Structure 1
Amino acid sequence: MKKNYVLDANVLLHDPHAIFRFEDNDVIIPIYAIEEIDQFKREGSERGRNARTIARLLDEVRGAGTLATGVLLESGGTLRIAIPERRPELLVGLESGSQDNAILQTAIDIRDRHKDRPTIFVTMDTNLRIRADALGIPAETYENQRVHDPAIEQSVVEIEVPGAEVDAFFQNGSLSVANVADLLPNSAVLLRDAGAPSHTALGRFDAARGQIVALRVGREGVMGVRPRNKEQAFALDLLLDDSVRLITLIGKAGTGKTLLALAAALKRTTEDNAYSRLLVSRPIMPLGRDLGFLPGDVDEKLNPWMQPIFDNLEFLFSNGGTRPGRDARGFVELLESGQIQVEPLTYIRGRSLPHQYLIVDEAQNLTPHEVKTIITRCGEGTKIVLTGDPQQIDNPYVDHASNGLLVVAERFRRERIAGHVVLAKGERSELAELAANLL
């Protein structure tokens, strides 16, 4: 049975092409949603771009008919803009003059006018879904860009094998096992001796060879940073493997996401010369109330935002991270020479980044569209690492299931050039680990 889908403004601001995502059902946009979208068209943000995009799309669609009665879409459904027969302020029990109530009134009128088919209200506003349900209108969130299983934890897979095979794995560096079809490419594997459970070996599934291969990270670690648990060892192995071009590192605060990525990137860039430059970036997203405009030139304005990156670089170049006696401010020379660049994501659109090691920190604050823009900047020979914690989202327009970091991890999980690691154990300090768990 065909359905009527009434779309809220936030759905179109999130994905302007949502009008084409409802198959052969009828899509209805309240006129009040168009008015709300019009308020954002002058913004230079992604929300402003989306507001202008939906206006252009609607203008193109109306060339095939009139939006008042409905325009036939290629999917077989129709698209129209609706105005309620009654004034929004007549909605009993709710505040008059509210844009949300006007949109809800439109949905109620459509439901009452079309009793022969279901009417569903689609909004990404949780409170508005609750109000719609209270008024007897079925309400759903927009699912097209959401991850249905937001955990997507690719934890270490344990495989029981005879003890002789564990020994052979240590000797040969690889092992063929049965039922590898269930393993995702580049997933972490723990081989456990069936006779002696403490006799184990850690490896990674190489989908091209169809084998479990040994990790190549030595006990000395990378740039003086040694892996403290099996997830960190697995992450370092992926970070150093040039055949894996995209990596998503997910973990709570203090698990070493940024530090491990920077350590591997410094080794491959400054010591091995495998990449021409290390580019580290993060979105400009404040925690709590914004401080407003900052004084100084561009570098001085960005310094507070990029300080977490500088803290990690200073640690790697100090006794805490690398060889004793190294200058903690030694990374400044690399910054001045351009071999390391630290900059915001604001100016990345339109760039081409070949043969670079790109780290995007705090990627959980990015929308799927922003992440797509970043990844499509990667040229030949570039490796990109996305790090973040989905539990620490400061962007009000994404949530745990719709942020760019988890969407990328979900969409790339079966690709041979991509790897996904979930770091579970905090290693920053005992206090930081307790805070992450208890608070």
Structure 2
Amino acid sequence: MSNDQMTKIYVLDTNILLHEPFAFLNFQEHDVYIPMIVLEELDAIKDRKKDVSRDARIAIRALEEALKDATPEEIADGVPMNKYQSEHGSTGRLAIYPDHLLSQDRVTLPGPENDNTIINAALHLQKDKSPQHVILVTKDINMRLKAKGAGLERVEDYRTDQLISDLKYLSTGYVEVEGDFWSKVKSCDSETEGRETIHTVERAALPPTLFVNQYLFDQTKGFAGKVIEHDDKLVKLKDLGYDRMMGRHAWGISPKNFHQAMALDALLDTSIDLCLLTGPAGSGKTLLALAAALEMVVEKGIYEKIIVTRNTPEIAESIGFLPGTEEEKMAPWLGAISDSLDFLHRHDECREGSTRYIIEKANIQFKSVNFMRGRSIQKSIVILDECQNMTSSQLKTIITRAGEGTKLICCGNLAQIDSNYLSPLTSGLTYIVERFKDFEGSATVHIAGVMRSRLASFAEKNL
């Protein structure tokens, strides 16, 4: 058997199990080794009063479930993971590596650091298991560098939650067709239902990658539409009209460019339950989301309340050190919402009074993400701001809170990630944009262009 066909050994760092507690089940036919020091780190983390402690406890319980009937000898040699009581495709073995038994003469990296112990365990396995490939998996960039410097041949990041290889492949939610759209269409069946016109055109006339609720517009500004249905041969397009979209408004706000017009269309469409807005700072994501929410709650009465939340920075994860109620504690982190509310009522005689009145009238509630778990939210609009700092599992927690008649709006800028553990490719926002892109109940719009000011626009392009 060649090296390429041989099963591999993956050594997992602690941060992999914190990032995804069931990660050890995702290595198919290959074997997974977990050093003893990783279990000690999980044990130290599980009692911390932070969100990460929950992931540590889940990981410990998952490992216990996988190894509960095994003898000490079997745990050292590896227990087949197909015994684990859940649906997964793993046929390899799971072993706990006794790195505390490594003798000093076999230690490559000296020092008491836990990272060094894990690297030493991987190096030891690399020597003992040759020619089998041993791969250390960690999300810590510095640890990957240290491991390579110490002589470990294979070190990888954990990428099962990474659906694209480069941010340029991330769906924008729209396609701009070169020239005149209708000049490329050979045959078209159009039908009008009430005020809506649906065109059925051949798939061959359109760009190769299409999905439901994707917007299409052409460079001549003669056509703007949205994909309603598609198969291998035909595509149904709802005719939206370029000028009609630019003429729409919500709570006194009109789109400044066509990207904002597409975002506003998705926000005001009650058939879309999940609206994902990406784009640079100052593109108008939060302002449009709030304006559309106020329009649908106060003016149209479609929803009953607005819940505004965002992921607080890790230093304030418990939000306990700030005084006051939950809403008062969240106020500093939700400054963008307060600024947007203030801007929407800038022409009123008494701006403060108007803002307070609207907060009561629209029943706007400020909530912390940490306290959203376990709730069921009905007939509401939930605005989740700054969600580029959230993991896919955190976003899943929020999305699964949405009950009947609830619309969720996720806003984020992938160029402004504050988390130490996330990159634009591993952000939960990137993950859900890709996962939901062909779901009929969701729409994505990347708002290009900075509308805040010429200063902000120049900084976005040149800094």
Structures share fold, TM-score greater than 0.5 = yes
Which residue among 80, 105, 125 is the counterpart of 1:72?
A: 80
Three-state SS of the structure 2 residue aligned to 1:264 is helix
Q: Residues 89, 41 of structure 1: CA spacing in aligned structure 2 closer, same or farther, 3 A cutoff?
A: farther
Deviation sequence 1:121-140 (CA, Å, 0-9, x none): 11111111122223133011
Deviation sequence 1:68-124 (CA, Å, 0-9, x none): 2321111321111112453479644x4511111100010011111111311111111
User: 1:7 — aligned with what?
Assistant: 12
Which residue among 386, 389, 394 is the counterpart of 2:410?
A: 386
User: 1:205 — aligned with what?
Assistant: 227
- 2:80 and 2:409 mapped to 1: Cα distance? 43
TM value normalised by structure 2: 0.85
Three-state SS of the structure 2 residue aligned to 1:64 is coil
Q: Which amino acid aligns with 1:315?
A: F
Which stretch shows the higher mean deviation, 38-47 or 230-239? 38-47
Matched, 1:254 2:282: yes
Matched, 1:158 2:166: no
> Does structure 2 retain, via aligned residues, the 8 Å contact 1:88–1:97?
no
Three-state SS of the structure 1 residue aligned to 2:414 is coil
TM value normalised by structure 1: 0.90
Matched, 1:22 2:27: yes
Which residue among 107, 111, 132 is the counterpart of 2:147?
A: 132
Deviation sequence 1:245-303 (CA, Å, 0-9, x none): 11110111000000011111110111000001111111112799x99923344443322
Three-state SS of the structure 2 residue aligned to 1:120 is strand
Which residue among 339, 351, 354 is the counterpart of 2:375?
A: 351
User: 2:265 — aligned with what?
Assistant: 237
User: 1:97 — aligned with what?
Assistant: 112
Q: Which amino acid aligns with 2:176?
A: E
Which residue among 381, 405, 415 is the counterpart of 2:429?
A: 405
- 2:334 and 2:145 mapped to 1: Cα distance? 39
- 1:32 and 1:286 mapped to 2: Cα distance? 25
How far does residue 19 in structure 1 lie from its aligned partner after superposition?
1.1
Q: Tell me how large the CA RMSD over aligned residues is.
A: 2.8
Note the 1:310-389 alignment, pairs <5 A.
310-319=338-347, 327=351, 329-336=353-360, 339-389=363-413
How far does residue 427 in structure 1 lie from its aligned partner after superposition?
0.2
Which stretch shows the higher mean deviation, 209-218 or 274-283? 209-218
> Does structure 1 retain, via aligned residues, the 8 Å contact 2:9–2:132?
yes
Q: Which amino acid aligns with 1:161?
A: F
Q: Residues 47, 199 of structure 1: CA spacing in aligned structure 2 closer, same or farther, 3 A cutoff?
A: closer
Matched, 1:190 2:212: no
Which stretch shows the higher mean deviation, 218-227 or 74-83? 218-227
> Does structure 2 retain, via aligned residues, the 8 Å contact 1:318–1:328?
no
Q: Which amino acid aligns with 1:120?
A: I
Which stretch shows the higher mean deviation, 327-336 or 129-138? 327-336
Q: Residues 257, 199 of structure 1: CA spacing in aligned structure 2 closer, same or farther, 3 A cutoff?
A: closer
- 1:336 and 1:292 mapped to 2: Cα distance? 25
User: 1:303 — aligned with what?
Assistant: 331
Q: Residues 382, 199 of structure 1: CA spacing in aligned structure 2 closer, same or farther, 3 A cutoff?
A: closer
Q: Which amino acid aligns with 2:8?
A: K
> Does structure 1 retain, via aligned residues, the 8 Å contact 2:326–2:368?
no
Which stretch shows the higher mean deviation, 28-37 or 65-74? 65-74
Q: Which amino acid aligns with 2:32?
A: V
Q: Which amino acid aligns with 1:154?
A: T
User: 2:85 — aligned with what?
Assistant: none
Q: Residues 328, 286 of structure 1: CA spacing in aligned structure 2 closer, same or farther, 3 A cutoff?
A: farther
Three-state SS of the structure 2 residue aligned to 1:56 is helix
Q: Residues 223, 240 of structure 1: CA spacing in aligned structure 2 closer, same or farther, 3 A cutoff?
A: same
How far does residue 385 in structure 1 lie from its aligned partner after superposition?
0.7
> Does structure 2 retain, via aligned residues, the 8 Å contact 1:30–1:81?
yes
- What is the number of equivalent residue pairs in this alignment? 428
Q: Residues 223, 291 of structure 1: CA spacing in aligned structure 2 closer, same or farther, 3 A cutoff?
A: closer
Q: Which amino acid aligns with 2:432?
A: V
Matched, 1:34 2:39: yes
- 2:320 and 2:49 mapped to 1: Cα distance? 17
> Does structure 2 retain, via aligned residues, the 8 Å contact 1:281–1:360?
yes
In structure 1, list runs of 5 or more residues that go unmatched. 193-197
Q: Which amino acid aligns with 1:183?
A: L
> Does structure 1 retain, via aligned residues, the 8 Å contact 2:248–2:261?
no
In structure 2, list runs of 5 or more residues that go unmatched. 1-5, 83-89
- 2:13 and 2:416 mapped to 1: Cα distance? 26
Q: Which amino acid aligns with 1:182?
A: T
> Does structure 2 retain, via aligned residues, the 8 Å contact 1:205–1:213?
no
